[in-house]
Chains A and B, each alone.
Chain A
Amino acid sequence: SYVLTQPPSVSVAPGQTARITCGGDNIGSKSVHWYQQKPGQAPVLVVYDDDDRPSGIPERFSGSNSGNTASLTISSVEAGDGADYYCQVWDSSSDHRVVFGGGTKLTVL
């Protein structure tokens, strides 16, 4: 089965740039989506199809995907960006399985 690997935690000072990675075999050939989840809340889509932002998501959130690594980059990090972040792909070609990364806890110092 397909596996997505994320670092358990990332720490960054306010105003700096945070980068959260999502590793998978040839992930560059798939569409990657990123979710932000704050305590007690459902996940919220922040980046879809590798590098697109839903309406209402700040431009500070961006994504990239190439080779075996996809990344979510948050520039000018704010205290409110502290949350868990999950990457996700969907294998629509075979068993329609949805795969999540293990999640990364972003701590704003």
Chain B
Amino acid sequence: QLQLQESGPGLVKPSETLSLTCTVSGGSISSSSVYWGWIRQPPGKGLEWIGNIYYTGSTYYNPSLKSRLTISVDTSRNQFSLKLSSVTAADTAIYYCARQSGNLYWGQGTLVTVSS
């Protein structure tokens, strides 16, 4: 059964870079017609799409985050990663990774707090 697991620091200082990795098990990250994405949810708020990546490395970013965002893929490790630079308190959220083929299959999510 497909599983996605987010990992990374739960606390990041303002102005620093938030880095998360999603490890995919039970399926190949190199599947055709499947994208791999990141979504976040600030406490008490709705869902916000961050961006996604295809196994070839093609990326698609939310325009509101594009200047600070990098999503990459490592097919040898069946992982994809998120880097968000110059973070502020507004970036505090639960970050989910997901398999995207039209609809989304979600990881369990990880809370990242931006605070000094």
- Enumerate chain A interface residues (CB-CB to B < 8 A): 1, 31, 33, 35, 42-45, 48-49, 86, 88, 90, 92, 95-103
12 A–B contacts from the bound complex (CB under 8 Å): A33-B103, A35-B104, A42-B109, A45-B103, A49-B103, A86-B46, A88-B104, A90-B100, A98-B100, A99-B49, A101-B46, A102-B46
Answer whether residue B72 sits at the interface, using C-beta atoms and an 8 A cutoff.
no
- Enumerate chain B interface residues (CB-CB to A < 8 A): 35, 37, 39, 46-49, 52, 60, 62-63, 96, 100, 102-109
Closest to A49 in B: B102
B39, B107, B108: which has the most chain A beta carbons within 10 Å?
B39
A92 to B103, CA, bound (A): 11
Least CB distance from A45 to B in Å reads 6
Residue pair B46, A98 in contact (C-beta under 8 Å): no
Residue pair B46, A103 in contact (C-beta under 8 Å): yes
Chain A residues, Cβ within 8 Å of B49: 97-100
